[in-house]
A and B are shown apart, each in its own frame.
Chain A
Amino acid sequence: MPRFSNLLRSVKREFDSLTTTQLIFVLFILIFFLLLPVFSILYKAFIFQGHLSIQQFEQTFSDPDMIKYPPNLQFFKLMHRYRFEVLPNGSRILVPLTTLVIGAEGPDFGYIFNSIFVSTCVMIFASIIGTIAAFIMARYNFPGKNIFRVLLFIPLLATPFVNAYVIGKVLGEGGLLNYILRHVLHAPFTVVISGLPAVILIQTLSFFPIVYMNVLSSIINIDPSLEEQAENLGAHGFKLFRTITFPLSLPGLAAGATLVFVFSMEDLGAPIGLAGAFGDGLHNKLMSFYVYTQFQQAFSLEQVSPSAYVVALIMLMIAVVAFMIIKKYVSLRQYAMLAKGGRWSPRVRRLGPLGMLAVYAFMIPLVIISCFPQIGVVVLALTNWATSGAIPTSFTLEYMRALVTKPDVVTAIRNSVTYAGLAILITIILGTSAAYIVIRRKIPGRDIIDVMTTIPIVIPGIIVAVGYLIFFGSVFFKTFMDPFINPGALLVFTYTVRRSPFLTRSVVAGLQQTHVSLEEAAMNLGASRVKTFFSIVIPLISANVIGGAILSFVYMMNEVSTSLLLGAHNPAQGPITFLMSQVIYSTGTVGAVSIAAALGVLLMVLQITAISLSNYILKQRVAFLGV
């Protein structure tokens, strides 16, 4: 048995008290608060009346609401109407008015394929826009470049629901777009965009910067000598881009595009925000919204339609496939940087007048349109725009004041801060432990821990929430951990699991930059592993811990899906985003939308502060989603 005794010996050597404690903690959190809940969806989807069955799949797939066959492909229709116009002399005349209605009645492929259609379109559009923007920003110099650099980040500032509401308000019948068409351009027609096209528009605007940043970092990391060699051999211009630059930035594009696909699929902000602006319609005939309503309205698991589990499982499968694609391409990204050596002088060119014109013609409309939702949120929060029609007419601080005076708003803010605060404490321990085990310890199966700490980036929050409702709702039925009674306690853990990747990745980067011999030197001088960890490792990576923690904290504050699904079961424990969704979706009281906008402004301020702070601490630009 020498093999077995060797194994025993190596286990004894590797599992010192620090490693054992860290490992147990990490495994406990990941198994209990990620794996078991997510796997319980699998269980629920395949178990029908106590038996293993695929009946629920058959039911779901034959439901015409889920998969519509044949699909409705009516993308737009023209409506001819007459309406009164007031002439300058005061008399009123009837004028013919043609309205182009886009998306209201079609396309419609049913819940499942609507989601896939939307995500695919968003992925394609975001990839095209993001890649062009990245190439321009990486390779050309032009006046105002730094302003564009900042503006391209603005769409990433999350203002859940309100940004979609703003777009809805612009695209609607009496919205800003038609106000301009009629009163400024005196056009004989109006346009209304809703349904899936509106979702695609909103999501493309908010997600293209993810592609932009991933492609940008790919291009910047390409060794210039690779392009110089190609030029030396006679390639230039578009040929150089097509044969060298673009292929080498493909890993960044693949990772960015996949993330956009998943984010689009799980997004609740657009469907809920649009429903707030237009009422229910095709824009919320999406998988995410379906699962959301099923679980949000249920008082117990029995009331949930079996199809909801099937849909949740489909979303989970798509996310897992996406993760595998990203993993593959992100490791591929290294090939662009193989030949690192010498000092890189960035290959940035000045533009001629024609080129400059082309760049501005692309960049200026892009940043104006893509920043509009965020600007609109601020306007909504500070004026009477919510009730004044197409354009705001008066300024007010009333809604900002509500943040500190209105009891339910104050409660929501306090809830969010409490959950995120507790979650960040757990996240710090979880993230540093997991990163340390993955990078420094030679424990069998550490790759699995690596995957489990990264994969939450792509797992839709709705899936996590559904998993929690199933797992904790049945195993901890009528206890402190029952999400139908006490969702607040569980929100702490959904925040931890969903947002810890930011901190873990940051600490991993810190450990990779810190030479392992610094720890070995301490152990060589007699310090145990625990002592080494606290006296050497922690001080050396503290910047990464703090930087990562700040980012994680902010993304916890604006976490949407689990906040909505779990919060719904005890509104008194609902966080900020839950309250925002409530006021937007129900649009009950006058001015409610503006309060949501005020909360959106609060979240934006938090994000800007946090990102600047962590950039300052980490002394480098944080890749928003460095998976």
Chain B
Amino acid sequence: MVTVRLDNVVKTFGKVVAVDHVTLTINHGEFFSFLGPSGCGKTTTLRVIAGLEWCDSGRIFFDDQEVTDLPPYKRNTGMVFQNYALWPHMTVFDNIAYGLKIRKLPKDEIRRRVKEVLELVKLSGMENRYPTQLSGGQQQRVALARALVVEPRVLLLDEPLSNLDAKLRIEMREEIKRIQKKLGITAIYVTHDQEEAMVISDRIAVLNQGKVMQVGTPQELYRRPRNLFVATFLGRYTIFRGKVSEVDPSRVVTVKAGSLIVKGMPPAPDIKVREGDEVVIIIRPHSFKLIPPAKPHNVIEGIIDWVSYIGPYFEIRVKASGVDFLLNVDPETPVRIGERIKAYVSVEETMVFPISATKDMAYMQELK
């Protein structure tokens, strides 16, 4: 068990800044994820921790030991690669025993530990198979076993489930979490799948263009995103722009967007909004209720434009005052295209983000 600390880590590939001054602490025994779109630098960050890429500047610590300049084979991390990287010329046993042989353990101990770890990943009896004779899920378990058997200080997982089908993916992510908690090992997980990250992680770092956008528990990220990127990357949403007309002392902001006037709040206390600011309103689809809540709220009234049946709920689009609203409604509710609907959303759940930087403007363009 170990605490991993990144201090101002920078990694560039030519002109592309893959990791941009990342500072993070991953606590021991924690299941920590890097989440972000492809190309955001999450895999590179993981590889820098493993020592497979050298960072240009910054420092990396495992507990108090600095590992920045240690080659990968001296860091004692256990990595599970996206493509599993099982050696095709070795059996399952030899693949798993490889790290133990490197550590020059006695033969019978190697045999014992391989047997134990195979039990842990539920692959007992597969010792003599070759990787090509295994299914994708089994190969995944072998890769996990191979990383775990050396008792690494940190377990590193690079999108380990992306090559599995949807059902197996759900099964395996629970399996990985179970094993990690059982062993109490620090685990760092890279994924672009927000649902996977939410389910499996204790804490998540959302990355974009090499920068850490926010670190927090899944609930914090979802309910109190600190910026537009995190708010729009996680989950679905209604989005529209407006201008602040009033800010009251309890941080409730009145926003005018065309003919629509709504009250909202910045989701985190350190987000500052002033009168006259250009802002963006983000509302999660499940924040809308068809019965007025007791808390202060906004009222939306408009025509149903689109209905899709998701299963547990209907997802509907409502056009109101020139804004396209996305709502989830109970599947028992009768909704039909063209009908009028009235919905309520609490002020607290009407999230307000300032857009000042040109970067945010560009990002807004992308979202459109």
Contacts and interface: CB of A to CB of B under 8 A. Distances in A.
Contact of B69 (A9, A518, A539): A9
A526 B85 contact: no
Given A6-B56, A13-B69, 16 more contacts: A9-B54, A10-B54, A517-B81, A520-B79, A521-B79, A521-B81, A523-B51, A523-B52, A523-B73, A524-B156, A525-B73, A525-B146, A526-B99, A527-B98, A527-B102, A540-B87
B205 interface: no
Nearest to A542: B89
A101 interface: no
Contacts of B147: 524-525
A520 B81 contact: yes
Interface of B: 50-52, 54, 56-57, 69, 71-79, 81-83, 85, 87-89, 98-99, 102-103, 146-147, 150, 156
Contacts of A9: 54, 69
Contacts of B71: 13, 16, 523, 528-529
Nearest to B82: A517
A532 B73 CA distance: 10
Contact of B102 (A16, A515, A517, A531): A531
Contacts of A521: 79, 81, 85, 87, 146
B150 to A, nearest CB: 6
B139 to A, nearest CB: 12
Contacts of B72: 520, 523-524
The 10 closest A-B pairs by CB, nearest first: A525-B99, A517-B85, A521-B85, A523-B72, A526-B102, A524-B79, A517-B81, A539-B89, A523-B73, A526-B73
Interface of A: 6, 9-10, 12-13, 16, 515, 517-518, 520-529, 531-532, 535-536, 539-540
Given A6-B56, A13-B69, A521-B79, A526 B103 contact: yes
A133 B219 CA distance: 68
A154 B298 CA distance: 85
A446 to B, nearest CB: 15
B50 A524 contact: yes
A282 B44 CA distance: 65
Given A6-B56, A523-B71, A525-B146, A518 B102 contact: no
Nearest to B52: A520
B102 A540 contact: no
Contacts of A525: 73, 78, 98-99, 102, 146-147, 150
A540 B69 CA distance: 29
Contacts of B74: 526
19 contacts: A9-B69, A515-B83, A515-B85, A517-B81, A517-B85, A521-B85, A521-B146, A523-B52, A523-B72, A523-B73, A524-B50, A524-B77, A524-B78, A524-B79, A525-B98, A527-B73, A529-B71, A531-B102, A540-B87
Contact of B85 (A520, A531, A535): A520
Contacts of B76: 526
Contacts of A536: 87
A270 B82 CA distance: 56
Nearest to A12: B69
Contacts of B87: 518, 521-522, 536, 540
Given A517-B81, A531-B102, A540-B89, A524 B73 contact: yes
Most buried by A among B54, B76, B77: B54
Nearest to B158: A517
A386 B56 CA distance: 72
Nearest to A14: B54
Contacts of A535: 98
A518 B71 CA distance: 16
Most buried by A among B72, B75, B79, B102: B72
Contacts of A529: 71, 73
Contacts of A523: 51-52, 71-73
B161 to A, nearest CB: 16
A174 B57 CA distance: 81
Contacts of A13: 54, 69, 71
